[in-house]
Amino acid sequence: MIESRWADSQLIGTRVRSVWQWQLIFTFSVVAITVAVGVLDVSLLATPGYLFGILVVVIASITTLVTPWARTSKHSAFVLPLVDIVAIGFLSLSQPSLGYLWVFPIAWIATYYGTIEIVASLSAVALMNLADPSHWDFSAAVLVDLLIILLALAFLAITISVGSQRTRAFRDLARNQARRLSTTVHRVQSAEQRVNAVFDSISVALARVAPGGEIVSANAAYRSLYSLDTQDLRFPVGGAVEYTGYRGRALAPSETAIARAGRGETVSGERLWLFDRTGTWRALGLSIRPAGANSLGEETFVVELEDLTAVADAQRERPHVTRVVAHELRNPLTAILGHADLLLEGDPLTPAQRDHVDVIESASERMLTLIQGLLTQSTDADDPRARFDVAQLVTASIEAFEPAASASALTIDAVVAGPIEVDGDEFRLRQVIDNIISNAIKYSDRGTLRVVAAVDEDGWGAVTVADEGIGMSPDDVERVFTPYFRAQTVQEGGVPGTGLGMGIAREIVESHGGSITVESALGHGTTVTVRLPAAGREEGDER
């Protein structure tokens, strides 16, 4: 209904413009001829027929401009070309050659009206042609002239009418096709919305990846999991990092699920760990499979991530449950063994009784051995510490922060000399390095960020991060590890933060037997150094 009304309004506006254009073009032609006549033969302007014809044209033009054609019917404008035919008839009484002007109203009528109107207009031309008293003798010359005029005008009218009909037909066809196309597009959009609604309702995280690692589409579960911008899937609004295992090693950009899908790898049921922006660990079941070609003919792949966090939590809790159960079973077994020993050491037992007590003692000792083994296994499974290379950890952290540094116009100058083997919790120490590099980028807006990692002369693993940022005063440096403390320069600069990062970093480093120091000066940047005991180093060996 709305489209129909819009089309009607468009047609009315076109009709109003056409009435003005035809009439004004005709009027301009008559005015131009009048000026020429006034220059060449001023006496012609004094003839009654010419003056009356000019008057009729002027009145018709004024009427055209003041009439609200938008509120009148289509055929009401037919009066104007008829009036112009009459005006030309009077002009031709003074100068017969002005009869050529009948081309204008005939062309107008043939463009917008049908056969009846064309016949009526040609009849009007014939009547005005015969209005000349010199033609009343109906001589052969007069009739031949009239026939030529009518045939020429009829041919012109038929040609224009056929062309106009074809133009209108093409216009209607184009309008109908546009309407159908609009309807089709609307249906496609509706279908796409329904498909997207179904796609987003799937609880499994899904993403379609093009060659090169570009995410073509992703459902709501995937966008939420990786904190992606719903308007542009290329830009995450928060940090979500993939790891090889729970509190394990962070994956390099080329090892992520999206990068692997972009290379065309296929995976089925592989375990992947994700540390999302809320600080929650999620165990994911990763599968990558082909998804067909895109519009460019490129093969795409679907990344499927099933949330297995509950299963992984149960697996992690199993050693704890086993330890609790084993511990609870060990106490009564110890009592059984103790009483069995008392029976064997007490009053003499009959051979049958002694055999029974021996069986009880033997079975109890066997169960106690099994329980002790379970306790040992569960304790080993809970220990997150292992030997790893700090140099690889620092390199991975630098790769992760390079885009942020580039966005802040910072250059990272890294000198990493490995291996730097350390015994500890790799995940927790990665948190320390990430926090230090993140702070260096956050509080710098220029210059170079220098990162040096190597084994120092005392045999300790040392990581130094130096920036050229805003720096801190000596008083602020002394309190930098205090919980919730934020330097005065940071508060004045309006940089967001909680003031907890450095305190947590020191706790982690000291729990590994290491140390962390901060050196800074206002306007000259900050240098943070982390020292960790190398693997195999005896505790307390400070040299």
Summarised one tens digit per residue, pLDDT across range 152-166 is 888 888 888 888 888
Answer with the residue of higher pLDDT: 384 or 172.
172
Res. 391: pLDDT tops 80: yes
Q: What is the CATH number of domain 387-533?
A: 3.30.565.10
- Who contacts 238 (Cβ-Cβ below 8 Å, separation ≥6)? 227, 276, 277
Residue 485 pLDDT grade (very low, low, confident, very high; cuts 50, 70, 90): low
Judged by average pLDDT, the poorest of 119-128, 304-313, 337-346, 465-474 is 337-346
State pLDDT tens for residues 84-98. 888 888 887 777 777
pLDDT of residue 268: 87
**Helix/strand/coil (H/E/C) assignment for every residue in 378-438:** HHHHHCCCEEEEHHHHHHHHHHHHHHHHHHCCCEEEEEECCCCEEEECHHHHHHHHHHHHH
Res. 178: pLDDT tops 70: yes
CA distance 122 to 106: 8
Which whole number is the average pLDDT over 469-492? 73
CA distance 424 to 508: 10
CA distance 65 to 343: 129
Percent of the chain past pLDDT 70, that is, above it, reads: 79
Which whole number is the average pLDDT over 196-205? 80
The superfamily in CATH containing domain 203-307 is PAS domain (3.30.450.20)
Res. 543: pLDDT tops 70: no
Answer with the residue of higher pLDDT: 347 or 464.
464
State pLDDT tens for residues 486-519. 666 556 555 555 566 787 888 888 888 889 998 9
pLDDT of residue 287: 92
pLDDT of residue 7: 45
pTM, entire model:
0.42
- The label of the residue with tokens 């999620």 reads 282
Cα angle 476-530-282, degrees, rounded to a multiple of 5: 100
Res. 179: pLDDT tops 50: yes
Mean pLDDT for the chain overall:
78
State pLDDT tens for residues 11-29. 555 667 777 788 888 888 8
Domain ranges of the chain: 2-176, 203-307, 313-383, 387-533
Which whole number is the average pLDDT over 514-529? 87
Res. 239: pLDDT tops 70: no
State pLDDT tens for residues 105-146. 888 888 888 888 888 888 888 888 777 776 676 677 777 877
Res. 458: pLDDT tops 50: yes
CA distance 491 to 497: 9
Q: What Cα–Cα distance (Å) separates residue 353 from each residue in 46, 98, 339, 344, 514?
A: 157, 147, 14, 9, 61
Q: Helices (DSSP H) in 67-139: which residue ranges? A: 79-94, 103-112, 115-130
State pLDDT tens for residues 36-67. 776 777 667 667 777 888 888 888 888 878 88
Res. 373: pLDDT tops 80: no
State pLDDT tens for residues 274-320. 888 777 888 888 999 998 887 777 888 989 988 888 877 766 666 66
Answer with the residue of higher pLDDT: 317 or 6.
317
- What three-state secondary structure class fits 291? strand
